Structure 1
Amino acid sequence: MTYCVGLQLDRGLVFLSDTRTNAGVDNISVFRKLFTWEIPGERAMVLLTAGNLATTQAVVSLLDERNVAASERSPSLLTVPSMFQAARLVGDTLQQVIAERRDGGQSQASTFNATIILGGQIKDGPPRLYLIYPEGNFIEAQPDTPFFQIGETKYGRPILVRAYDPAMSFEEATKLLMVSFDSTIKANLSVSTPLDLQVLETDALRLGVSRRIEDTDADWRAISDGWSDALRSAFDSLPGVTL
């Protein structure tokens, strides 16, 4: 299982992903699910993946290969003129990889499905954030839907809905995402640290803060322990119930 979030702020975009993959309780591994591309001063992009690991690795590898062999007839993430076209390219690549497995006779094609979050900014355009489905179609984040989650979404969603503010600083947004991930990790053993953080500041047109958050990270431990204490305190402060 996986948990990844892309968050749109007035200041830019913030991304956080876990790194755990599992094929049963006795086969647990760490794989990166956050990938980046940039041409400093011209574009910067971040991609988060959830779903079948072989599918997502194939998608990222194909995107990398197209960056090397880009041409007018074969665009890449480093040459497309807009983030919309970047989302189309990623969606087409994802659909192609899944279709090849289906056409190759592999049963239960849904087993090879994957979902992707893509965000970034290309010069002369605003930062944009997309959720890309296995079929290759996608939707864009809007003021009413300012963040996307993929993977194990339900445990970490309530705090995002309640506490999100587009005017947040990057530090506040990172704290919010840490709380969301802490709630998910405590409820689902298939999501775990280390976590990968990436920040994109509006109009910087380069990758911002990038950080791997281990379980022993001082900020992570302070947020996790502090959130648990705050929940207990809030619970204790509620009025009693008469039976």
Structure 2
Amino acid sequence: MSDTDEKRRYDRVLLKISGEALMGDQGYGLHPPTVDRIAREVQEVHSLGVEICMVIGGGNIFRGLQGSAQGMERTTADYMGMLATVMNALAMQGALETLGVHTRVISAIPMDQICEPYIRRRAVRHLEKKRVCIFAAGTGNPYFTTDTAATLRASEMSCQAIFKGTKVDGVYDKDPVVHPDAVRYDKVSYDEVLNKHLNVMDASAIALARTNNLPIVVFSLEEPGGFRGILAGEGTFTEVSDFG
């Protein structure tokens, strides 16, 4: 057994990434080398025996709020955003299975010809068989973000934590890209995130995580090996939880 196995903090986790994380340096769409790189990060953690769920946003293809802001009816725009998440999930599935990782795309909106419908007990069984479950189409309802969908699925799957991969290495008191003096938190409570309007997840997702005592680990997806390292409690990250 390796040192990482011995220090592994979690046995079942959910990885939440944005759709924008898949587009690399492009301004739109999917960047296959970036998708492959993230798939390898997932494969490394999966090889440790960790059961992994994933939720991927759709902002690299279509974002419901932006469509609504441009005059499109909100419900229609949100459904279009959900379909974008299915496209991203299929791309990630293809990359993972190329690496030999058995994967299931599970959609909240039934589309039987390309993926499975969401059935909780079946999804749990997939995890027990060490298949990566990629949950697509959000919650299946408009007006809910993929952040909320991630927290909901993590709760239903009895995950021990949500790992949110971002472009920065944790939660800061202000945008570190704009403000060089921004301060990173090592730990922050759910209430602080809500009260200080810290950019972690939307309020519904944070409230649901708090209700279910589900930690959120925010880390940089840009750091090679970061996902595996953070799982062992190494590297730089912020943990959102009730602590102290």
TM interval, shorter chain, is under 0.3
Higher RCO, Cα 8 Å, sep 6+: 1
